[in-house]
Structure 1
Amino acid sequence: MQALLIDDEIVAVNALKRRVDWSRYHVDQVFTAQSMQEAQEIFRQQKIDFMLCDIEMPNGSGLELFEWVKIYYPLTECVYVTCHPEYKYIRKALKLGSADYILKPIDYEELDEVLCELVKRLDKATENTEKIEKIPDEIMQKLISQNVHTEQDQMIRDAKQFILEHIQETIYVEAIANQVHLNEQYLMRLFKKETGMTILEYITNERVTMAAELLVETNFPIVTVADSVGYGNYSYFTKIFKRYMGDNPKTYRQKHKTAE
């Protein structure tokens, strides 16, 4: 496992690297960066499992960095380590799906609890990818028909179909771009222009839509539904589902199964 520490204060990042027993969390290598740009370069060269990141930095905040990471490296988890207790920061961090939010000065016992829980979740996510339930063909075809056949632009139609066919997997923008033979940046601009959504927003929307179908049309346990649509983090899945559908998965299932 590999970790990345990002803080514009070199003293802070070196102290964090030195004081934590990284082997306790199965971390073989720890990288450091002092800016968003340095962090992005490391991501391009290394597989980063999780990052500990400050929020306010020059030339790109930790929040902007994690938004970028969610698009290009969606499996990477993030824990914010910052001196900013303001609600607006915490809310944005949680909305992005960060694993936790720790205030400076760091309480290393608290950090230990957070990292232990994070590593357990990463290990479980790896195990779950090996035993995901197959989405019933009728549900898959229904969503593909609704989303792909109404799209006018062939490139966007192909991109949507690729996303839906790989909805149970980790979906990288690079893979979508390769499928439709477009530059990544051009694809993201075209997708936003044609659909009104970013690729990440579309993926999230389709995962929630598919989860809703599975909750009503199957008897899969809710944690299995989460895994089946690409969410290894159950609590994050519940949070996202409620934001989109207005109810948590359990309540949504009860309402719609009863309605039928």
Structure 2
Amino acid sequence: MKTAMIVDDEVVVVRAMKKRVNWEKFGISKVYEANSMKQAIEIFRKTEIDILFCDIEMPEGSGLELFEWVKEYFPYVECIYVTCHPDFEYIRKAMRLGSFDYLLKPIDYEELHEVLGKAVQRADANMLVKEHVHQRARKYFNDESGPTHSSSDVVEKIKEYVKEHIQEEISMGDIAEVVYLNPQYMVRLFKKKEGISILEYITNARVKMASDLLRETDYSIYQVASLVGYFNYSYFSRVFKKIIGKSPQEYKKGMR
């Protein structure tokens, strides 16, 4: 059985939809209600939602913003917008986010049943994706590093991961698995918090470690390059000089 949620700041609209739609006919056992983006997110954090009906224009966070958040954590959710704005720009943004369809107010319930039936069929096809993604999302929301804590905690976990894997090839997907975030969202969060991209941070961390090794050990430049994750010597030299202002050879010589 599936679940659905109706998000609309107009309580009368939510109640009418709950009453007039034959949810059980579509295999939907529970329909949740929310009157704001904040309320909807709280429900998503605690339970599984398959189908989302959402108004576009709402105070304290639009339906477009809500679905953008949903797609970060629960990409399997099928979203149907219910709006009184037949404006092309709204619809274009909704479709760009990957919404399943949209309905105009006042609601034509025959059309709603038709759209819901198709959305349920697509939700059935997403079951395997749902199981995998939901496990990760639940772990993230229940973990102490989840949204109950600040973005600083996530950034620190990223930095810790980079430090521990500095000798290896580091991918955004690997880091995202550790912090339980969508890679694109993780990259934006890090840059907003730190002012540089994760890739820039990794490069700076590698060059900083390389300079320390060149200054404090007798390792050859080739050894140092491999110890900080660079296996192409010439590329390492170019990156090092760009950041430090000297080639590894010049830097090592100046330390004597």
Q: Do they fold alike, i.e. is TM over 0.5?
A: yes
Residue 162 of structure 1 aligns with which residue? 174
Give the TM-score normalised by the residue count of structure 1: 0.55
Aligned partner of residue 28 in structure 1, secondary structure: strand
**Is contact 2:187–2:197 with CA below 8 Å preserved after alignment?**
no
Give, in whole Å, the separation in 2 of the partners of 1:68 and 1:128. Answer: 18
- Number of the residue aligned with 1:71: 72
Alignment partners' CA distance in 1, 2:109 and 2:81? 14
Could you tell me which residue of structure 2 aligns to residue 177 of structure 1? 179
Match for residue 189 of structure 1?
Answer: 189
How far apart are the structure 2 equivalents of 1:57 and 1:162?
36
- Residues 38-65 of structure 1, C-alpha deviations (whole Å, 9 max, x = no match): 0010001111111000000000000000
5+ long unaligned stretches in structure 2: 132-158, 200-256
Gaps of 5+ in 1: 131-151, 164-172, 180-184, 198-260
Letter in 2 for 1:190: F
Aligned residues: 161
Q: Is 2:20 aligned against 1:12?
A: no
Deviations 1:102-122 (A, max 9, x none): 101111111111111111111
Measured after TM superposition, the shift of residue 74 of structure 1 is 1.4
Provide, for residues 84-128 of structure 1, a one-character-per-residue CA deviation record: whole Å limited to 9, x for no partner. 100110000000000001101111111111111111111123268
Q: Deviations over 1:155-211 (max 9, x none)?
A: 796452427xxxxxxxxx6x44059xxxxx9775215655499xxxxxxxxxxxxxx
User: Percent of counterpart pairs with the same letter?
Assistant: 48
TM-score by length of structure 2 reads 0.56
Give the letter aligned to residue 69 of structure 1.
Answer: V
The answer to whether the 8 A contact 2:187-2:198 is kept is: no
Following the alignment from structure 2 to structure 1, what is the Cα–Cα distance between the partners of residues 90 and 76? 22
**Aligned counterparts of 2:85 and 2:68: Cα–Cα separation in 1:** 19
Q: Specify the alignment match of 2:4 in structure 1.
A: 3
What is aligned with 2:154? none
Provide closer, same or farther for how the CA distance between residues 79 and 190 of structure 1 changes in structure 2, counting only shifts above 3 A: same
Q: 1:45 to 1:129 in 2, by over 3 A?
A: closer
Kept after mapping to 1: 8 A contact 2:76/2:126: no
